[in-house]
Amino acid sequence: MSRKLMKGNDALAEAAVRAGCRFFGGYPITPQSEILEYLSWRLPEVDGTFVQAESELSGVNMVYGAAAAGFRAMTSSSGPGYSLLQEGISYIASAELPAVFVNVQRYGSGLGDIFQAQSDYWQATRGGGHGDYRMLVFAPASAQESVDLIALAFDKADEYRNPTMILSDASIAQMMEPVALPEMHEHDPNADWAVRGKQGGEFKRVTSTMYYIDDFDTYIKNKYDTMAENEQRWESVQVEDADLILVAYGISSRICKEAVESARSQGIKLGLLRPITLWPFPVKAFAEINPEVKAFLSVELSSLPKMEEDVKLACGMKAPVETFLGGANIPESSAIVERAVSILKEQR
Amino acid sequence: MSEKRIPKLLVEPNKFCPGCGHGIINRVVAEVLEEMGLAEQTVGSLAVGCACLMMDTFGADWIQAPHGRAAAVAVGVKRVRPECCVFTYQGDGDSMAIGFSETMYAAIRNENITAILVNNGIFGMTGGQMAPTSLPGQRTTTSPKGRDAELTGQPLNMVNQMKQLPIGYLARGAVSSAKDINKLKKYIKSAIETQMNGGGYSMVEVLSPCPTNWKMNMETSISHIENTVKDIFPVGEFVKNGERIDA
Amino acid sequence: MAQSEKKNVCMTQNHDVCKGCGYCILQCPKDALSFSEKVNLKGYNIVELDQDKCIQCGICYTVCPDYVFERVEVS
């Protein structure tokens, strides 16, 4: 397959189109505005619809309408804009509709700043919107993975009739990398649940399915338990014999890969567990690791330890879990190795 | 003389309060859709408010929109399924308070949808709070001494907001007499025709009573609309076939 | 002779759905409608039509928010 040099945002946008996405309604915000800009000319080329909405509030509700009508629909945002989507996401999940959401993370609460961060981990994995729902959260670590995971996000959204999410960040979105793009997939919007007028049949109500399902509590718990059981994805690097295992996703996982390589060349046995789904968190990955592991180091580009909690839960606290908090700064791999070494010293 | 039968779209008795105007408006919309042969290809975008009560009783495809967002949801549907008749059915709180931006932008972009905005000057479903369309001096649960226009602004006239925009059709009707209801039906028909002919955005605002929260009986409710509300919110057609037609 | 016997239609009523709002009474040009003592299953005092006064104009159909009335052909 031939490869093309593309910016992460552009690659994700092109891959969404090739996955059959035919509706985008959203609003500009750095660092994801290129997704809008790309789709503004690309979607009309494939008879799709692009709307720059007056706000993210409006955009997410347009996505709700297009998804209810059976079309593959998505929006993307960041920071404060992504917060505005939460009510709409809750409605879409409640109505059991497919749609894809992309958060290209920027740093900080409030207005924050425009560079990369991993501060939205809790918002992504703990709900964000109100009520009993969850979303599959995919974390790409490269432009190519953005391409691969957006197609998966659309497929899984349809499979489970639930919104899914790509949690990316400014650096993955802005970097230029060679990508191999898949073939164009045309999606059939005429599912039997899609609204398009009664067409001689019964009228359809797109609203919270809780109003119409008996023993809804059991039903909805089963739905998300099934996802949690079947959709865990991860990558492991040299975890079978590692003394200390780094846990990192997205951009920080790339630095950690370099840290593992550099450490191993110095005789320090580091390993890396890279979650590709953040929800469900890949607890199954922890069965493959060195049973004698001495410590875990969660490497996160945030100011507060977030994924650390999930690492602690997943490893059953069999070994101490610490966090390398990058905050506003992407760390050097040497800093990670240094921290790992000091943790290992304390363990002796 | 011809028959007058309840439209088949009205699949169950409605759930509105006694004397609520929604029941009449529901019927008028259903009549228009059936007479125009659109019942099988209509998708409605439903507000949060008393309008929610229509979902099980008005038998067209419905999407329950979040509060205020019905216009955006309708745009999402119409853009991907332009062959459908897509309308919003909203109260004044939904369309003019929390949804003001979405409502206006559908008009600003001249989206090919029909918005039906029911103006009863109050937030009905939640127990009678002040609405953007509440009149100065009107007592509501959040303006217990009467609406103070100095503090809260004048009643919002959506027709005035929209009539400067290049849209397809704009009218305000009422349900306060048989004559008004018959005129309303013509307005709604013109609005839907505008949409199906690709003529751009259409909006019909409807003056409607809320006897429960106005704390009035039917007679005083109707008289309130005829003698007071219509002075603030004049009825008539304002834009037709994309042209201003009011004086 | 009742007026309805001259015409081909008459007004019918579905008392079950009446909510006793009285709008039809206010609008009827012939005072053919009035509140009855009877109460339907929903608990509302229903409105009753005097067929002798009725001219089948259909205004009650037009104003009723609950679809109590229909105008139907009679043989």
Q: What integer pLDDT is reported at residue C5 of this predicted model?
A: 54
Q: What integer pLDDT is reported at residue B155 of this predicted model?
A: 98
Q: Which of B55, B60, B63 has the CB atom closest to A198's CB atom?
A: B60
Indicate the residue type of A165.
M
Torsions phi, psi for A9 (to 5 deg): -60, -45
Do chain C and B touch: 3 or more Cβ pairs under 8 angstroms?
A: yes
Is the peptide bond preceding residue B144 cis, with omega within 30 degrees of 0? Answer: no
Mean pLDDT of A106-122: 93
Q: Which of B11, B42, B63 has the CB atom closest to A65's CB atom?
A: B63
Q: What is the ipTM of this complex?
A: 0.94
Record: contact B72-A208, CB cut-off 8 A: no
Record: contact B14-C66, CB cut-off 8 A: yes
Buried b (16+ CB within 10 A) or exposed e, A5-19: ebbbbbbbbbbbbbb
Mean pLDDT of C48-59: 97
In tens, the pLDDT along A183-194 reads: 999 999 999 999
Record: contact B22-C66, CB cut-off 8 A: no
Touching subunits for chain A (3+ Cβ pairs under 8 A): B
In tens, the pLDDT along A261-315 reads: 999 999 999 999 999 999 999 999 999 999 999 999 999 999 999 999 999 999 9
Nearest to A241 by CA among A197, A294, A310: A294
Name chain B contacts of A51, Cβ cutoff 8 Å.
75, 79
In tens, the pLDDT along A76-92 reads: 999 999 999 999 999 99
CB atoms within 10 A of CB B153: 11
Largest Cα separation within chain A, whole Å, is: 74
The minimum CA-CA distance between B213 and chain C, rounded to whole Å, is 14
Q: What integer pLDDT is reported at residue A1 of this predicted model?
A: 66
Mean pLDDT of A34-55: 94
% of chain A at pLDDT higher than 70: 100
Q: What integer pLDDT is reported at residue C7 of this predicted model?
A: 76
Q: What integer pLDDT is reported at residue B247 of this predicted model?
A: 67
Average pLDDT value over all residues in chain A: 96
Instruction: Give the SS3 label for residue B29.
Output: helix
Above 90 in pLDDT, residue B178? yes
Q: Where are the domains of chain B?
A: 22-244
Nearest to A138 by CA among A117, A116, A164: A164
Average pLDDT value over all residues in chain B: 97
d(CA B71, CA B77): 10
Mutual orientation of helices A8-18 and A33-45 as an angle, nearest 10°? 30
Q: What integer pLDDT is reported at residue C1 of this predicted model?
A: 42
In tens, the pLDDT along B78-110 reads: 999 999 999 999 999 999 999 999 999 999 999
d(CA A321, CA A303): 17
Largest Cα separation within chain C, whole Å, is: 36
Q: Which long-range contacts (CB under 8 A, 24 or more apart) does A122-127 make?
A: A122/A306, A123/A82, A123/A83, A123/A86, A124/A165, A124/A167, A124/A278, A124/A279, A125/A278, A125/A279, A125/A281, A125/A310
Mean pLDDT of A29-37: 94
In tens, the pLDDT along C1-45 reads: 454 455 799 999 999 999 999 999 999 999 999 999 999 999 999
DSSP 8-class letter at A83: H
Q: What integer pLDDT is reported at residue B152 of this predicted model?
A: 92
Mean pLDDT of A55-69: 97
C-alpha of A189 from chain center: 24
Q: What integer pLDDT is reported at residue B58 of this predicted model?
A: 98
List the domains of chain A with CATH numbers. 3-230 (3.40.50.970), 235-346 (3.40.50.920)
User: Does the domain at residues B22-244 carry the CATH identifier 3.40.50.970?
Assistant: yes
Residues 117-146 of B with CB under 8 A from A: none
- Give Cα separations from B99 to A248, B102, B212, B232 (angstroms): 41, 5, 24, 22
Residues C50, C56, C59: CA angle, nearest 5 degrees: 95
The better pLDDT of the pair B142, B202 is held by B202
